[in-house]
Amino acid sequence: MMVGNQSLRASTSFMTNDAISTHRINVFKVLLLLNFFGAFWFAIVNFNRDLQLLAWLELIIVLITALALWRIRKPIPFNTYLSLATTYVVFFGCFLLFALNHPGVSQNIHIWITTIPLMTYLLLGSRRGLLLTSLFLGLVVTWHLMHFDFLTFWQSLAAVANVVCVVMAIWGMSHAYELANEKAQQQLQTMATRDHLTGLMNRSLLNQTFQQACEETAFDQQIVGLIVADIDHFKTINDQYGHEVGDQVLKAFADILRQCTNRPELAFRLGGEEFCLIIPNTTCLQAGQLAEQLRQNLRKHPLHQLGINEPVTVSCGIATSDTPDLPFKKLHADADRRMYLAKAQGRDQVMTQD
């Protein structure tokens, strides 16, 4: 009945990136500003030390940093940010490896290795941070093994041990912090976008999810359907059996929605006993059949353990759109009106037309 599409599923879960990307872009701007002035200063210093190649490379970094700052002066898509930040981290790492191998460079340059875990994790998150940090530190270790001198190593053992311990400590803390931060962001996103009682999406993402469904179906010139469902006599259930039983009825219907659609990211609780389901790639007939399945499944759902012996019913209104520019407000109003028409004509039914 419905064609599954991972883009819609990803789009709702990917909403977390909006909050994360704002934080990361702000961090990126600060790092770029520090990099801009720092690279300019070191270029002057290295020109005075007659390290011409290193100084010119640092001036190139100044130019690249300025271009990156100009690029992110306005909001950018998350994927664009990831590309820019990844390129920046890789370029910084390559430059640092080059500087480590450049004659005449101070041994203090090793302290810059400690910035790699912080930079990669803050800019790119836990998975990319772990990958790039492991890759870069692996290259640093390989470079040192290729130039290994036992006498020099023994004389600088304390310094090497300090650098290794600091790098590992910063790496571990960066990884732990980023995992905790991402988990907290996901929890906040869940709290902001999901109904706490039923676990369905709440109405905060309803309009955006509908627009994404329209974009998905526009390529195939298919129809987007909308079901608005309202549990009948719900106030009576609350008054007669109590609000805890009413909550269990809402949860039961939410489970039925999930079972019938297999697309939980498209099922919403609008508030109270009213629910909504977005159906991409469907027809009015198919949307009506799905609504009828919802109605029958709720009617047959056993609620004896809650003390409810009579069937609980639901009234549904259907609306469909075959144009991607149809406002969600209009489609929802059509489905909502038909839902109330179903209630006016006796409840426990599905209305697809006025």
Nearest-CA neighbor of 188 among 2, 15, 306?
15
Tell me the three state secondary structure of residue 348: coil
Instruction: Give pLDDT, residue 1.
Output: 39
Q: Which pLDDT score is estimated for 131?
A: 94
Q: Is the pLDDT of residue 3 over 70?
A: no
Per the model's pLDDT, the better-predicted residue between 347 and 112 turns out to be 347
Q: From the CB of residue 85, how many other CB atoms can be counted at a distance below 10 Å?
A: 26
Beta-carbon contacts of residue 112 (< 8 Å; ≥ 6 apart):
96, 99
Please, which residues bridge with residue 231 across strands?
A: 314
pLDDT at 155: 58
Query: What are 258-268's pLDDT values in tens digits?
Result: 988 877 888 99
Angle, CA 91 vertex, CA 90 and CA 97 arms, to 5°: 90
Q: List the beta bridge partners of residue 316.
A: 229, 350
SS3 318: strand
- Give whichever of 46-60, 92-106, 141-155 has the largest mean pLDDT: 46-60
Determine what percent of the chain is predicted with pLDDT higher than 70: 86
CA–CA dist 172, 175 (Å, integer): 5
At 245 the three-state DSSP class reads helix
Check residue 152 and give its pLDDT: 59
The answer to whether 24 touches 85, Cβ cutoff 8 Å, is: yes
pLDDT at position 110 is 76
State the pLDDT at residue 256: 93
Instruction: Tell me the β-bridge partners of 229.
Output: 275, 316
For residue 182, name the pLDDT band (cuts at 50, 70, 90): confident
CB atoms within 10 A of CB 295: 21
- Which pLDDT band, with edges at 50, 70 and 90, does 82 fall under? confident
Segment 231-254, tens digit of pLDDT: 999 999 999 999 999 999 999 999
Look at 203 and 16; give whichever has higher pLDDT. 203
User: Which residue's structure tokens are 């790492």?
Assistant: 93
Quickly state the pLDDT bin for 183 (edges 50, 70, 90).
Answer: confident
In the predicted model, is pLDDT for residue 156 greater than 80? no
Q: Which of 273, 274, 292, 310 is catalytic?
A: 273
Helix (H, G, I), strand (E, B) or coil at 247: helix
For the segment 116-132, the average pLDDT, to the nearest whole number, is: 91
The overall average pLDDT reported for the chain is 84
What is the sign of the dihedral through the CA atoms of 298, 302, 304 and 309?
Answer: positive
Query: Residue 213: what pLDDT?
Result: 77
Residue 263: helix, strand or coil by DSSP? coil
Task: Give ∠ CA 88-91-95 in degrees, rounded to 5.
Answer: 135
Instruction: Tell me if residue 265 is catalytic.
Output: no
Q: Exposed, middle or buried: residue 324 (CB in 10 Å: 0-12, 13-18, 19+)?
A: middle
pLDDT of res. 313: 94
For residue 8, which amino acid is it? L
